[in-house]
Amino acid sequence: MKHLRLVITIIIVSCMATIHAQTIDSENKQQQGAFDAPKAIRNPIDRPYEKKLLRDNTPVPLQPLDEEYIHYSSLFWRVIDLREKMNLPLYFPTEPKGNWKSFAKIIWDVVDSNENNPMPVRIYTTEYFDIPLSNEEFKSKFSIEPIVQLLWLTDPETGEQVFDEETGEPISIGDTTIMQFADPKDIMQYDIKELYYVDNQRSMLDVRIMGICPVLQKGAVLFEDDEEDNAPAMDAPAEDEGFTDEYTDEYAEDTMEEEYPEEEYPAEEEDLAELGGKKLAPIGWFYYPEFRPVMAVNEVFNPHNNANRRTYDDIFIQRRFSSFIRAEENVHDNREIFHYILNGLDQILEAEKIKNKIFTFEHDMWEY
């Protein structure tokens, strides 16, 4: 009888412990869930109707190419600067607005492999689309040079900074490294590799985009206030030296003409090198045929009729962007224009010369 009571007592105690443990576990889950980010229960709704056309959209089929009918071809590299007004639809919005995302945000989402994106789009290290980047390598491209910050000794009671009695300087107890990461909205440029060719089967000059490379702008920002503080002081003539305004103007004009002849271009290049204090870093290359299905289902803001939004695939196929030629396929290792022309204005003229050569080649194929 005593053994039976002992067994019953043990069973009751174990049941009470299990119930208590479950209660604590449920309370912990509820507390943990209070700090988790809320998950969306549906897709974003920004219209009173469902957008079925965009959801089921597919890329426009391109004309198949046959080497036998390619009469002429040449590779070109272009730059799309997102600071230009015509290219703003590729940059905005900086944050997703419902179903409307920037081109950079789409790139970030499709490369990241997760449960919502089990088939990520490959991004390659070179413009020949042969070596893919891993997800970790892709995210490491957004890392910025870390900041080393000094740690100063403080009074534990007052929290004030402690200074050395002899020198009067704050006492350093070491340093810490702060890691920095760029955001997709810091992508300010896209490089495009494309092929211009003459198709004898259709008797026309056409262009086919091969790859897109997002370029990240990263680095420490140099503010105007810092430039003014660090700028060397200019020695101005004192008022009591007897110089009048008229004489000073004439003296300044003569000095500039004599001491700085034809020095405008080097001065501009030095200013441009320090402007903004940021560097351009290519992230990787997307193979355009692989990236088109994603571009075809993401919309772009249409300022003329927002009910009929275009897709990113339409923007590139219809060439609704502004760009300039950076390089043409050549025997000198496909060198870029700035490698043999230093002046910025001459680089623009050289790019226009290359573009006009393509137009002239097509025009001379016909007789009127």
pLDDT for the residue 114 = 67
Task: Tell me whether residue 246 is in a domain.
Answer: no
Q: Which of 181, 209, 244 is the last residue of a domain?
A: 181
Q: Which residue has the higher pLDDT, 337 or 224?
A: 337
Q: Look up residue 40 and give its amino acid.
A: A
Out of 49-53, 69-73, 310-314, least confident range: 49-53
Same domain, 81 and 170: no
CA 359 to chain centre: 32
Please check whether residue 273 lies inside any domain of the structure: no
Of the candidate ranges 42-56, 89-103, 264-278, the one whose mean pLDDT is the lowest: 264-278
Residue 354 backbone dihedrals phi, psi, to 5 degrees: -65, -40
189 in the same domain as 321: yes
The residue written with tokens 């449920």 in the block is: 26
Average pLDDT over residues 318-343: 95
Task: Give pLDDT, residue 216.
Answer: 92
The pLDDT value given to residue 368: 67
Q: Which of 155, 181, 207 is the last residue of a domain?
A: 181
Residue 255 pLDDT greater than 60, yes or no:
no
Query: On the CB side of 158, how many CA atoms lie within 13 Å of its CA?
Result: 6
Task: Tell me: do 116 and 175 sit in the same domain.
Answer: no
Assess if residue 64 is contained within a domain: no
In this predicted structure, the answer to whether residue 339 has a pLDDT above a threshold of 70 is: yes
Q: Specify whether 172 is located in the same domain as 287.
A: no
Mean pLDDT of 143-148: 78
Among 16-25, 195-204, 359-368, the minimum mean pLDDT is found in 16-25
More confident residue, 113 or 262: 113
Per-residue pLDDT of 177-190, as tens digits, reads 777 778 888 999 99
Same domain, 155 and 165: yes
Q: What is the pLDDT of residues 204-247, one digit of tens each?
A: 999 999 999 999 987 643 333 444 444 434 444 444 444 444 44
Q: Domain end: 134, 154, 181, which one?
A: 181
Compute CA distances 49 → 46, 52, 98, whole Å: 9, 9, 14
Contacts 24+ apart (CB under 8 A), 308-311: 309/54, 311/54, 311/57
Q: How is residue 300 written in tokens?
A: 């772009």
Average pLDDT, stretch 260-289? 60
Residues 27-54: tens digit of each pLDDT:
444 444 444 668 788 888 888 888 888 8
Domain ranges, residue 152: 144-181
Q: Which residue has the higher pLDDT, 260 or 139?
A: 139
- Two tokens at 259? 């001491």
Q: Are 175 and 306 contained in the same domain? A: no
CB 216 within 8 A of CB 187: yes
Q: Output the CA–CA distances (angstroms, integers) from residue 275 to 81, 118, 185, 222, in the order listed.
A: 16, 41, 20, 8
In a domain, 19, yes or no: no
For residue 242, the model assigns a pLDDT of: 45
Q: What's the domain count of the chain?
A: 2
Q: How high is the pLDDT of residue 3?
A: 59
- Mean pLDDT (whole number) for 246-265: 44
Instruction: Kindly indicate the confidence band of residue 4, based on its pLDDT and cuts at 50, 70 and 90.
Output: low
283-297: pLDDT as tens digits: 999 999 999 999 999
- pTM score: 0.70
For the segment 15-20, the average pLDDT, to the nearest whole number, is 52
Are residue 137 and residue 156 in the same domain, yes or no? no
Are residue 153 and residue 199 in the same domain, yes or no? no
Q: Are residues 211 and 300 in the same domain?
A: yes
In a domain, 93, yes or no: yes
Query: Residue 70 and residue 252: Cα distance in Å, rounded?
Result: 62
Cα(5)–Cα(155) distance, rounded to whole angstroms?
A: 64
Residue 167 covered by a domain = yes
Question: Residue 112: is its pLDDT beyond 70?
Answer: yes
312 in a domain, yes or no?
Answer: yes
Residues 168 and 307 in one domain: no
Amino acid 59: pLDDT: 94
Mean pLDDT (whole number) for 251-256: 44
More confident residue, 127 or 152: 127
Kindly state whether residues 126 and 151 are assigned to the same domain: no
201 within some domain: yes
| Whether residues 134 and 200 fall in one domain | yes
